[in-house]
Amino acid sequence: MLRDFYVFSNGRMKRKDNTFYFIDEQENQKSLPVQQIDNLYIFGQVDLNTKLLSFLNQHNIHVHFFNYYGFYSGSFTPRETSLSGFTLVSQSAHYLEHNKRLVLAKAFVTAGVFHMLRLLRRYKQIQSELLEPIISLNKGISQATTIQQLMGIEGMIRQQYYSLFNYILPSDFSFYKRSKRPPQDEINALISFGNSLCYTSVLSEIYKTQLNPTISYLHEPSSRRYSLSLDIAEIFKPLVVDSLIFALINKKVITLKHFDEIENMVTLNEEGKRKFLKAWDEKLSQTIMHRHLKRKVSYRYLMRLECYKIIKHVINDEMYKPLKAWW
């Protein structure tokens, strides 16, 4: 079974025969059969060469790089093997035609808000009247006529959503506003780290389909980012990232000792990252019985299913209905 692996130490990565090796600064060597690797997440400073990259490309292994502070830096993605000119043209057409783009953009936002409300309703501290501002704003999504207007509504909803976190979190994890670069408190550090993992997980699943990750609908396409992964991640951030943050803090798996304050920012330290990543792996591997496929699928595979549904939509095979958790 393929798995994700995480490298925290500084050192170098290399290939020898059909095995991946990591050698740390003390010359300790760890090996891993390449057939077990799905994605590599690199949090340390590592050296590698083109021989290794060619090897990773042959085995369709993605490598995601994070800087010293735990911020996502970029990815090495193997050469695309599932190319489809028809899908690419259709995907582009749905971006270029305003109304078609708006349909998909609204679907991502609608599903994201659904999962926000679903998560909040799980906590008895959140009385129904506290949800009214989100519910009221949510009604405006269907009325939005531009992407900018839609993004504005989504931003106001997210602001209301974050304002309710303090009802759920203990007092030592007070959260006042979203600050991304840099994160100013522990909750912002967890959100940024979790969202980066969500983006890269979605990106890896996109590459297993015929979709092009640079052509997006809610977020503006850019030559310097895989913006479709940002679109699809909107569905999964409250469903996976935020629910995981609440669970880890309320169960005291992650505490204040798992954070460092560096250069006017708060970041997860190495122990904190390890604990989050362990829980992240467990969450993505968790399975539910799919009501249409009639078999168990993992949270990770649900990300890929969204890609397949988008493909069916852009080729005019089946209208896209975003995931709305029923379990």
The region of weakest confidence among 71-80, 125-134, 316-325 is: 71-80
Rounded to 5°, angle at Cα 197 from 194 and 201: 140
Can you state the angle between helices 243-250 and 186-206, rounded to 10 degrees? 140
**The CATH number of domain 3-76 is 3.100.10.20:** yes
Question: Is the pLDDT confidence value at 4 over 70?
Answer: yes
Banded model confidence at residue 80, pLDDT cuts 50, 70, 90:
low
**The CATH number, out of the four listed (3.20.20.100, 1.20.120.920, 3.90.245.10, 1.10.540.10), of the domain defined by the range 85-314:** 1.20.120.920
Task: Output the CA angle 99-104-105, nearest 5 degrees.
Answer: 90
pTM, two decimals, is 0.90
Q: Say yes or no to pLDDT of 150 above 80.
A: yes
Q: Are 93 and 219 in contact (CB under 8 A)?
A: no
Res 36: pLDDT: 85
What's the DSSP call for residue 225?
A: B
Q: Is 270 annotated as a binding residue?
A: no
Top pLDDT among 321 and 76 is at 321
State the chain's maximal CA–CA distance in angstroms. Answer: 62
End-to-end CA distance of the chain: 26
Assess whether pLDDT exceeds 80 at residue 40: yes
The average pLDDT across 150-159 equals 96
Nearest-angstrom CA–CA distance, 67 and 7: 12
Find out whether 282 is annotated in a ligand binding site.
no
Residue 82 binned pLDDT confidence (cut-offs 50, 70, 90): low
Residue 68: φ, ψ to 5°:
-55, -30
Question: Residue 154 annotated as binding?
Answer: yes
Domain locations in the chain as residue ranges: 3-76, 85-314
Residue with tokens 């310097």: 224
